[in-house]
Amino acid sequence: MTVADASLPIETDALIIGAGPVGLFQVFELGLLGISAQVVDVLPHVGGQCMALYPDKPIYDIPGLPRCTGRELTQRLQTQAKPFSPTFHLSHQVTSVARLSDQRLQVQTNHSQTFMTRSLIIAAGVGAFLPRSLSLQGLSELEGRQVFHHADQRPATVAQHRVVVGGDDDAVGTAIQLAQQATGLDAGRVTLLHRRLALDASPDLQAQLQSLQAAGKIDFKLGQVTGLGMHGQHLQSLDIATPEGLSHSLPCDALWVLLGLSPQLGPIAQWGLAMSRKQLNVDTERFATSEPGIFAVGDINTYPGKRKLILSGFHEATLAAYAIAAYLRPGEKIPFEYTTASPRLHQRLGV
């Protein structure tokens, strides 16, 4: 699959907001009808809730798959969508949608990527998964340079004093990875900072943490960050308040704030679409919203009898694809074909 980073306006027939399971299946259903899609997600990876909230938990109610984890389902959906070569714009949050005079939609992301799309499919789940942060003055200016909110982010230059804040699998796993990568001069300069002694990480990660602590490769400290110690534009320490009410300074030149993700509906509520209780109203024939050319599938939509299940989203994406094809090709009959029997579909699938 292609991952784009162009900043030029991108023209497309279909833009999908959300690369969760339903957004991924939407790519497939549109592809079968000859429509290729661009996909935007604020997360640095695809999979939505399946990857962000329960990658290793088994799901039991996907038709034909008696048991599969969130990660496995995501991989399978990616493989299924592959013949249609979707372009993914990850780590982009869609911030605005505006109607152009030619009826296309202009969609903008927080990283200044603009799309001109003929149809828009909102598969935004429970909202954009944004990392919880610390409310500290000056923190956002250091983002991407010395402060990181995703486990896989790394500073461009060697950091001597690395601090990971958090106590879940992500935080503990990141501290372990940093300590294991550390060699020579770097050894022993990784600190895991958590507000309490009990961690929310798996027993396996906690055991690894303990052995790295015993080997002097990780410091585990209790406390909360109350301020940033700056030297000009450069972060060099953290002000820490301990549970005992003491305060001290901790050297730090790279900080990972890994306090989990929180879904935020954010800008979607401002696009003037009819909503009920933070969900987009759709009909159950086309999954169209109140705005022509804008459709909504998966957890983000609502209609009588709605159930927030992956299976329901797959059905919605299928009917929405037919409605989008009809919208993009007015007057044309959209053929109904089986993947088992249609040479045209076989050609599109490359089988």
Ligand X SMILES: Cc1cc2nc3c(=O)[nH]c(=O)nc-3n(C[C@H](O)[C@H](O)[C@H](O)COP(=O)(O)OP(=O)(O)OC[C@H]3O[C@@H](n4cnc5c(N)ncnc54)[C@H](O)[C@@H]3O)c2cc1C
Name which of 40 and 175 has its Cβ closer to ligand X. 40
CB of 124 to ligand X, least distance (A): 3
The footprint of ligand X on residues 83-102 (CB under 6 A) is: 93-94
Name which of 223 and 298 has its Cβ closer to ligand X. 298
The footprint of ligand X on residues 106-145 (CB under 6 A) is: 123-129
Torsion angle of C-alpha atoms 99, 100, 102, 104, degrees rounded to 10: -60
Q: Between 152 and 191, how does the x/- string for binding to ligand X read (CB under 6 A)?
A: ----------------------------------------
| Token output for 346 | 């076989």
Name which of 251 and 260 has its Cβ closer to ligand X. 260
| C-alpha–C-alpha distance, residues 57 and 40, integer Å | 25
CB of 215 to ligand X, least distance (A): 35
Rg (CA), the chain: 23
Name which of 229 and 267 has its Cβ closer to ligand X. 267
Burial environment of residue 130 by CB neighbours within 10 A (0 to 12, 13 to 18, 19 or more): middle
Could you tell me how far CA 2 lies from the centroid of its own chain?
16
| Token output for 159 | 């950091």
Q: Between 287 and 306, how does the x/- string for binding to ligand X read (CB under 6 A)?
A: -----------xx-------
| C-alpha–C-alpha distance, residues 221 and 230, integer Å | 21
CB of 253 to ligand X, least distance (A): 30
Name which of 68 and 323 has its Cβ closer to ligand X. 68
Interface with ligand X (CB under 6 A), residue from 30, 35, 50, 163: 50
| C-alpha–C-alpha distance, residues 151 and 19, integer Å | 19
Q: Between 241 and 270, how does the x/- string for binding to ligand X read (CB under 6 A)?
A: -------------------------xxx--
Helices 70-81 and 21-32: crossing angle in degrees, nearest 10, is 20
| C-alpha–C-alpha distance, residues 231 and 292, integer Å | 53
321 in contact with ligand X (CB under 6 A):
no
Interface with ligand X (CB under 6 A), residue from 27, 30, 39, 43: 43
Among 5, 256, 14, 250, residue whose Cα is nearest residue 123:
14
Among 118, 33, 16, residue whose Cα is nearest residue 84:
33
Interface segment toward ligand X; rule CB under 6 A; list 3-11, 17-25, 168-176, 184-192: 17-25
Interface with ligand X (CB under 6 A), residue from 14, 27, 37, 42: 42
77 in contact with ligand X (CB under 6 A):
no
* CB contact set of 114 (below 8 Å; sequence gap of 6+): 9, 10, 106, 107, 108
Q: Go through the chain and tell me how many residues it has.
A: 351
28 in contact with ligand X (CB under 6 A):
no
Among 246, 278, 281, 283, residue whose Cα is nearest residue 265:
278
| Token output for 117 | 């799309």
Q: Provide the total of helices (H) and of strands (E) in the chain, helices listed first.
A: 7, 23
309 in contact with ligand X (CB under 6 A):
yes
> Which residue in the shown chain puts its C-beta closest to ligand X?
125
Q: How many residues bind ligand X (CB under 6 A)?
A: 37
The β-bridge partners of 312 are none
Interface with ligand X (CB under 6 A), residue from 14, 35, 59, 192: 59
Q: Would you tell me which residues interact with ligand X (CB under 6 A)?
A: 17-23, 40-43, 48-50, 53-54, 59, 61, 93-94, 123-129, 266-268, 298-299, 308-311, 313
